[in-house]
Chains A and B, each alone.
Chain A
Amino acid sequence: MHPAYSVIFFTTLTGAGYGLAALLGFGLADPAMLSAKLGYFLALGLITIGLLSSTLHLGNPKNAIWAFSQWRSSWLSREGVLAIVTFVPVTVLAFTNIFMGLHIGWLGWVSAILCMMTVYSTSMIYASIRTINLWNTWLTSASYLLFSVAGGAVILTALLALFEGGSGDMPKIAIIALVVAWVAKWFWNKRQSEGYGGSTMASATGLGHLGKVKLLERPHAMENYLTREMGFRVARKHAAKLWNIAVLMGLLVPAVMLAIAFGLQGSTTAILLSVVAVFAHMIGMLVERWLFFATAKHAVSLYYGDTALDVR
């Protein structure tokens, strides 16, 4: 699948934003603290930029208002509705935290649950697509949700280190969240070997009973929407290397830095490492999300001779 930057930024930024908002909703930062106030500001910023980024993906954005109408059947519509609904508690909490130094416990829980429901809906946009076997699994949702929480935890750790002189137990929570998220992702990634699931060129053409089917002639000499959108090829060549980079930046670097920062609580080094951990993690997530799209194979490729799309 073609890895569109708009969708990569949409999923990574809203993921981190909702994760941060959810952790703040659970009351992990004292509302009197500057980091809680900035945290809400940052969460709303990440969510808003992410959602705006998603609209860049549209061919005809003037009709986007209709996207809130089909929540009965469409996960994309549900995501849109939930994103708007979630703005209400997050914005109210941001207001009470920033201007009144007040956290409303029950609303925090409502906010956190809505944040996670929104991330779940985002994940289901992909997980519900049967044609892309790699995505069509609950592990897609699990990794989206866990990465969201892990991203929020890494950001909150840095905020606490920067403005409160120490992040308490947050580095530990962040490291655990990172490890758990990457375990889910590792299981997800193992499914690469399943290819198209049950579909083959034989089932796509119904000609398997005659022998081995191969493409003799494409229907068109040049590219078209399908080959560009579904048949992205560049990344697969470097997939293994990029996976290593994603694990290094998304898991190992931030986890090690946060572990050191935990040991040196309060020092300038700890602050610096906590901030670097955020940037490393975000870079890792961008690579991970790029691979999420780029390595996903679409069943329609079978009509183009399976690997024909890989090599051209």
Chain B
Amino acid sequence: MTTLPLATNKKLGLVIDLDTCVGCHACVIACKEWNTGGYGNALSDQQPYGAEPEGSFLNRIHTFEIVPEGGEVIDQSADSRVVHFPKSCLHCEDAPCVTVCPTGASYKRAEDGIVLVDEDKCMGCGLCAWSCAYGAREMDISAGVMKKCTLCVDRIYNETIPEVDRIPSCVRTCPAGARHFGDLGDPQSDVSILVAERGGFDLMPEQGNKPTNKYLPPRERKPLSDAVNAGFETANADNVGDATGFFGWIDKTLSKGSSNSKVGEK
């Protein structure tokens, strides 16, 4: 049924911390690894070792640069800042990808809110991907069916794997702790508290999809240009003027006889 459930008590989803994500793409690869052997058809690659390699992925990392108004851009630093931006299915409450589906392949589970594709019904028309503002759905070129994040539905309820692994593969693998999994329908859950404390937000709220996944904004910080200027004196390898003790003795000893006496005194 491609009509949406009126409400789901549980709203399983991800909370993604844009402050801590380092853009290593480990979650992208962990996702591909798990899901190519798990739910439904494999995630195919086209010309994986050829001239134009490409393939289906359920999770992708974009990287943005943000320059504040009136900010200064010097080389690659100054006032601009870089934010790595992981993006996968947001398991929307008002998921247009579900209602547009003509075959009933696309559905949202009433019990936990996960949006899934039944590949035995999908005819590969691509309309769900058109309706998704987030680019969360990709047609698998080899299978001809639509692929999307399953929130690792075959891990999170899987009693044959250790309990610690019963979270989505991307969350399990993230080395920076930038991805969190939980029930966003429960205001007392860790993820809900995290969202409340850090001011988690929706992507493109104006599209009216009511996404379940939330994003945490990057924390306040000094402009990089300030940090560079402040750190310059101590960070410069030539500057040893205030070296004392053992290092001061080395500096003094090695400076003897060289044309320029103490480097730091220049």
Q: Is the interface of B mostly helix, strand, loop or mixed?
A: loop
B241 at the interface (CB under 8 A from A): no
Segment among B131-139, B224-232, B248-256 that sits at the interface with chain A: B131-139
From B1, B81, B133, give the contact of A299 (CB < 8 A): B133
Q: Tell me how far the C-beta of B242 lies from the nearest C-beta in chain A, rounded to whole angstroms.
A: 36
Contact A59 B126, CB 8 Å, known A74-B99, A206-B203:
yes
Assembled-state Cα–Cα distance A226/B104 (Å): 22
Mark B134-165 against chain A: 1 for CB-CB distance below 8 A, else 0. 11001111011110000000000000000000
Out of B125, B139, B217, which one reaches A206, CB within 8 Å?
B217
Q: Is the CB of B64 within 8 A of A230?
A: no
Q: Is the CB of B69 within 8 A of A125?
A: no
Instruction: Indicate whether A215 sits within 8 Å of B60 (C-beta atoms), given known contacts A66-B123, A222-B54.
Output: no
Asked if A49 is at the interface (CB within 8 A of a chain B CB), the reply is no
Q: Tally B residues with Cβ within 8 Å of A.
A: 72
- Candidates B55, B99, B125, B206; contact of A73 at CB < 8 Å: B99
A76 touches which of B80, B87, B127, B145 (Cβ 8 Å): B127
B100 on the interface (CB 8 Å rule)? Answer: yes
Q: With an 8 A cutoff between CB atoms, is A60 at the interface? A: yes
Q: Nearest Cβ in chain B — how far from A168, in angstroms? A: 42
Give A179 Cβ to nearest chain B Cβ, in Å: 32
C-beta contact mask, B61-82 vs A, less than 8 Å → 1, else 0? Answer: 1111111110100000000111
A220→B62 CA distance, assembly (Å): 8
Residue of A nearest to B3 (CB): A73
- Could you say which of B96, B135, B139, B201 contacts A303, with CB atoms under 8 Å apart? B135
Chain A count of residues within 8 A CB distance of the other chain: 60
Given A59-B139, A74-B100: A213 touches B64 (CB 8 Å cut-off): yes
- Cβ–Cβ < 8 Å partners of A68 in chain B: 102
- Known contacts: A63-B120, A222-B54, A230-B135. The answer to whether A129 contacts B130 by CB under 8 A is yes
Q: How far is the CB of A282 from chain B (nearest CB, A)?
A: 25
CA A220 to CA B59, docked complex, whole Å: 11
Chain A residue numbers with a CB within 8 Å of B125 are: 57-59, 67, 76
Is residue A210 contacting chain B, with contact meaning CB distance below 8 A? Answer: yes
Q: Cα distance A205–B66 when bound, in Å?
A: 11
CB distance from A148 to the nearest CB of B (A): 21
B129 within 8 A of A: yes
- Contact with B54, one of A69, A77, A224 (Cβ below 8 angstroms): A224
B105 touches A63 (CB 8 A): yes
Contact partner, B104, options A57, A69, A75, Cβ 8 Å = A69
Q: Check if A198 sits within 8 Å of B206, measured CB to CB.
A: yes
With both chains docked as a complex, state the minimum distance between the C-beta of B178 and any C-beta of chain A, in angstroms: 15
| Chain B hits for A210, CB < 8 A | 66, 68, 81, 83, 218
Question: Is A52 in the interface zone, CB < 8 Å from B?
Answer: no
B204: Cβ under 8 A from any A Cβ: yes
* Most chain A CB neighbours (cut-off 10 Å) among B66, B81, B105, B134: B66
**A194 neighbours in B (Cβ, 8 Å):** none
Against B, the Cβ 8 Å flags (1 = close, 0 = not) of A66-100 are: 11111011111100100000000000000000000
Give CA–CA (A73, B2) in the complex, Å: 6
- Taking CB atoms, residues of chain A closer than 8 Å to B100 are 73-76, 125, 128-129
Distance A58 CA – B123 CA, assembled complex (angstroms): 6
Of the candidates B64, B65, B123, the one whose C-beta lies within 8 Å of that of A59 is B123
- Report how far A75 CA is from B125 CA in the complex, Å: 13
Task: From the candidates A66, A204, A213, name the one contacting B103 in the complex (CB within 8 A).
Answer: A66
B99 & A213 in contact (Cβ 8 Å cutoff): no
Give 30 A-B contacts (CB < 8 Å), ordered by A residue.
A1-B130, A59-B125, A60-B144, A63-B123, A66-B105, A67-B103, A70-B2, A72-B3, A73-B2, A73-B101, A74-B99, A76-B127, A77-B102, A77-B103, A80-B102, A129-B96, A129-B127, A131-B207, A207-B217, A210-B218, A211-B66, A212-B67, A212-B69, A213-B66, A220-B57, A224-B138, A230-B130, A299-B204, A300-B132, A300-B134
Question: Lowest 3 CB-CB distances: which A-B pairs, in order?
Answer: A59-B124, A59-B144, A66-B103
